[in-house]
């Protein structure tokens, strides 16, 4: 009987049309995921005006979606490691598509909160599983780059949410953005259900039918010679038990905690900026359409950041790359308050911040995808995002507190810049302690 190490084949061979098609499907999902994730921040000024809400009330509105994101990222991550990436992703799309669409018909604040929570649950699960599926189809030499490129879909969706919001919200109301964000992913399902592939690494580790694995491997690499009696294995450990516990075993505990700290601090900044920038900018005298467009520059910068930071991460290592750019970004963050009322200077500063902050957010996800083996990858990515997104649950409340205390915009952003310095320190420490965080690798064949 011939044994074929599927992971070694993926690392050795060149990606083909199958890989790029799977990548395109996952990236399309992440675009819609990012669109729906940031819609609340872009509709907030119009919603507050139409419903006569105090601005401080917007904090819980932002936070309830983030709370759903936390539970979705953690729950769907564990689900995917047990039942597969494909089933988890389809479930996520149904959740955030249906409930984002339903949000447009909310008539009371409690209804709005419940629907936003349920949409956030699906949004949270989509990101870790989309990234995990991308990572499992590409070779190690390209993995960080491809995860970052896929993550750029999330940033692109966030940018499109702001740009579309600037066009439709002033004319058709805040509901229009949720209608667009709900219909688009549901249409995507028409392509997804028949064509989205399962992770071949997951199938091998779950000892799926050899005929199914062989057929998928032939689709991936048509020229590959696969014997009829082939047995498929993976040169990665596979351990029984609850997957979350494995994030802290076999030398992974320190790396896991540092990763969570880095992602948490960076997402604190990202959530604060995306949720409060439109409101703070309009409060500083900027027109609402200009405030939305300036805020969209954050996500636009994030698209370029996630696309361009992948190569340095593959070349110099993800921790060193992230630490360097996060140390740099504290300066432009601290300067936001000085330009908050002037469109072009603010748009330029926000673009630079988005390049680093949103790019580093995708980078933290890529670090998780590289750190954990297949059998806990979705769990590892999902829990890193879940812990990080808990910062997004807290950040809007902090914004409400800042406003209640009467802090100036300049002071708010000085405080915000400190969070990125902590994130940089976490990634530096993670890099310096990498011999301590290395995990052992045991082949299935040896077991």
**Of 31, 246, 275, 58, which is closest to residue 157 (Cα–Cα)?**
31
Q: What is the mean pLDDT of residues 335-355?
A: 81
Quote the pTM value.
0.76
Q: Which of 219-223, 337-341, 352-356 has the lowest mean pLDDT?
A: 337-341
Q: Which of 9-13, 234-238, 408-412 has the lowest mean pLDDT?
A: 234-238
**8 A C-beta contact, residue 358 and residue 155:** yes
Q: Side-chain half-sphere of 399: how many Cα atoms within 13 Å?
A: 29
Of 195, 185, 260, residue with least CA distance to 30? 185
- The answer to whether residue 21 scores a pLDDT higher than 50 is yes
Residues 58-114 pLDDT 10s: 767 777 877 888 889 888 888 888 888 899 999 999 989 999 999 999 888 889 889
Pick the CATH number of 3-437 from 3.40.50.2300, 3.40.50.10680, 1.20.1250.20, 3.40.50.1220: 1.20.1250.20
The DSSP secondary structure of 201-244, one letter per residue, reads HHHHHTT--HHHHHHHHHHH-TT----TT-EEE-SS----S-HH
Instruction: Give backbone dihedrals phi and psi of 231, rounded to 5 degrees, phi first.
Output: -110, 130
Q: What is the pLDDT of residues 195-254, one digit of tens each?
A: 888 999 889 888 888 899 999 999 999 888 888 888 888 776 666 555 688 888 878 899
Average pLDDT over residues 363-378: 85
Give the mean pLDDT of the chain: 83
CB of 32 within 8 A of CB of 181? Answer: yes
| Domain assignments of the chain as residue spans, ordered by start | 3-437
Which residues are within 8 A (CB) of 317 and not within 5 positions of it... i.e. 6 or more apart?
Answer: 431
**CA dihedral angle for residue 405, residue 411, residue 413, residue 415, rounded to 10 degrees:** -80
The pair of three-digit structure tokens given for residue 21, joined into one six-digit string: 């098609």
C-alpha distance from residue 331 to each of 277, 397, 412 (Å): 17, 24, 14
């Amino acid at each position: 009987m011939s044994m074929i190490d599927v992971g070694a084949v993926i690392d050795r061979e060149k990606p083909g049309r199958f890989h790029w098609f799977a990548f395109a499907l996952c990236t399309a999902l992440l675009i819609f995921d990012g669109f729906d994730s940031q819609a609340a921040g872009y509709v907030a000024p119009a919603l507050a005006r139409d419903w006569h809400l105090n601005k401080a009330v917007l904090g819980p509105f932002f936070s309830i979606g983030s709370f759903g994101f936390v539970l979705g990222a953690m729950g769907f991550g564990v689900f995917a490691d047990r039942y597969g990436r494909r089933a988890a992703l389809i479930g996520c799309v149904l959740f955030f598509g249906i409930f984002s669409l339903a949000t447009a018909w909310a008539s009371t604040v409690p209804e709005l909160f419940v629907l936003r929570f349920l949409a956030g649950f699906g949004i949270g699960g989509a990101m870790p599983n989309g990234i995990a599926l991308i990572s499992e189809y590409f070779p190690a030499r390209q993995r960080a780059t491809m995860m970052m490129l896929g993550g750029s879909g999330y940033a692109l969706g966030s940018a499109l949410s702001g740009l579309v919001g600037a066009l439709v919200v002033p004319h058709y109301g805040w509901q229009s953005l949720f209608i667009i964000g709900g219909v688009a992913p549901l249409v995507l399902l028409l392509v997804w259900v028949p064509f989205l592939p399962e992770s071949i690494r997951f199938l091998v580790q779950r000892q799926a039918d050899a005929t199914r694995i062989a057929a998928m491997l032939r689709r991936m690499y048509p020229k590959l010679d696969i014997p009829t009696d082939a047995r498929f294995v993976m040169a990665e450990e596979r351990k029984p038990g609850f997957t979350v516990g494995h994030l802290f075993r076999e030398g992974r505990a320190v790396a896991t905690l540092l990763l969570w700290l880095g992602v948490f601090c960076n997402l604190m900044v990202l959530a604060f900026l995306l949720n409060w920038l439109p409101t703070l900018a309009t409060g500083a005298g900027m027109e609402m359409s200009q405030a939305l467009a300036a805020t969209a520059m954050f996500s636009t910068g994030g698209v370029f950041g996630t696309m361009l930071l992948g190569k340095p991460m593959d070349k110099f290592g993800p921790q060193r790359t992230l630490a360097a750019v996060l140390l740099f970004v504290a300066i432009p963050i601290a300067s936001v308050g000085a330009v908050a009322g002037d469109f072009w200077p603010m748009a330029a500063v926000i673009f630079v911040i988005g390049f680093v902050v949103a790019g580093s957010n995708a980078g933290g996800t890529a670090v998780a995808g590289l750190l954990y083996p297949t059998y806990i990858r979705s769990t590892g990515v999902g829990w890193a995002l879940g812990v990080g997104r808990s910062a997004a649950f807290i950040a809007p409340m902090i914004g409400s507190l800042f406003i209640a205390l009467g802090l100036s915009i300049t002071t708010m952003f000085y405080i915000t810049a400190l969070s990125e310095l902590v994130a940089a320190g976490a990634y530096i420490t993670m890099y310096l302690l990498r011999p301590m965080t290395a995990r052992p690798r045991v082949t299935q064949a040896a077991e």
